[in-house]
């Protein structure tokens, strides 16, 4: 696995991880630039290949992601919960730190398992691990299902997959697409799967799944 061992290179990767995390929420409403969510994940996964501390890189990515995407929690606590700003700020920071653990755990589990799986299956493993941890995040302690990547496509033509595979299925294909790019994978099976997803989405969008 390639590494950048010099200090400046690692600092640059850490900064890039935070920036990639900040880009992620821009794929959701009200901005809705969904390619940025896909790009964000691809950059993040690619960065973990070069980092000497990949789990920390995952944590920094999570801080950028949820720091930018869940900052409204502060408004809820301060403006509507009438908490003093230091308390609201501290609670929001703790919440963001907790959520940032999930991308870090994704990297942790992937690194523990990657030596046991064939190279061409690694993108699939990335997608499975990410989706499983997103499911945990959506349920644990009452759940926080905001910012699941699949929702960034629900208002796009590929949202037509939702009646077939649900948001979780869309999430899987988004992460798989990002992993294929981030890992520079040559897996034909995975590329065929994501090609089917992206090509068939606009076709499914023409179908009427329900009638008034």
pLDDT in tens, 103-118: 999 999 999 998 888 8
Q: Which tokens is 116 given?
A: 């046991």
pLDDT score of 117:
86
C-alpha distances out from residue 29 to 146, 147, 183, Å: 11, 10, 28
Asked if residue 185 has pLDDT above 60, the reply is: yes
User: Chain-wide mean pLDDT for the chain?
Assistant: 87
Residue 168 structure tokens: 């979780």
C-alpha–C-alpha distance, residues 130 and 109, integer Å: 10
The number of CA neighbours under 13 Å toward the Cβ of 14 is 12
Query: Cα(111)–Cα(183) distance, rounded to whole angstroms?
Result: 13
SS3 content of the chain, % helix, strand, coil (to 5): 80, 0, 20
**What pLDDT sits at residue 4?**
58
* pLDDT band at 205; cut points 50, 70, 90: confident
Mean pLDDT across the stretch 130-139?
Answer: 95
Could you count the other beta carbons within 10 Å of the beta carbon of residue 143? 11
pLDDT at 2 over 60: no
pLDDT band at 5; cut points 50, 70, 90:
low
Confidence (pLDDT) at 159: 80
- Pick the range with the lowest mean pLDDT from 115-129, 161-175, 198-212: 198-212
| Least confident stretch, 25-29, 61-65, 130-134 | 25-29
**Pairwise CA distance, residues 138 & 151, whole Å:** 13
The predicted pLDDT at position 1 comes to 47
Instruction: Say how far apart CA 167 and CA 137 lie, in whole Å.
Output: 15
Q: Is the pLDDT of residue 195 over 70?
A: yes
Tokens 């290179």, located at residue: 9
User: Under a CB-based contact definition with an 8 Å cutoff, are residues 134 and 197 in contact?
Assistant: no
Residue 101 burial (10 A CB sphere; 0-12, 13-18, 19+): middle
Q: How confident is the model at residue 145 (pLDDT cuts 50, 70, 90)?
A: confident
Please state the pTM of the whole predicted model.
0.89
């Amino acid at each position: 696995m390639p590494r950048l061992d010099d200090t400046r290179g690692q600092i640059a990767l850490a900064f890039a991880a935070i920036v990639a995390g900040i880009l992620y929420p821009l794929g959701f409403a009200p901005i809705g630039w969904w390619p940025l969510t896909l790009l964000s994940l691809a950059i993040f996964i690619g960065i973990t290949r070069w980092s000497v501390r990949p789990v920390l890189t995952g944590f920094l990515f999570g801080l950028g992601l949820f720091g930018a995407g869940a900052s409204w929690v502060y408004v809820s606590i301060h403006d509507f919960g009438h908490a003093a700003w230091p308390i609201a700020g501290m609670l929001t920071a703790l919440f963001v730190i907790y959520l940032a653990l999930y991308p870090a755990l994704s990297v942790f589990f992937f690194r523990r398992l990657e030596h046991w799986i064939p190279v061409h299956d690694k993108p699939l493993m990335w997608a499975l691990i990410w989706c499983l941890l997103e499911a945990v995040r959506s349920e644990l302690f009452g759940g926080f299902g905001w910012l699941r990547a699949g929702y960034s496509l629900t208002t796009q033509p590929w949202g037509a997959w939702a009646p077939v595979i649900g948001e979780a299925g869309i999430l899987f294909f988004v992460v798989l697409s990002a992993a294929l790019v981030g890992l520079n994978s040559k897996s034909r099976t995975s590329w065929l799967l994501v090609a089917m997803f992206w090509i068939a989405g606009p076709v499914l969008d023409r179908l009427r799944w329900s009638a008034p």
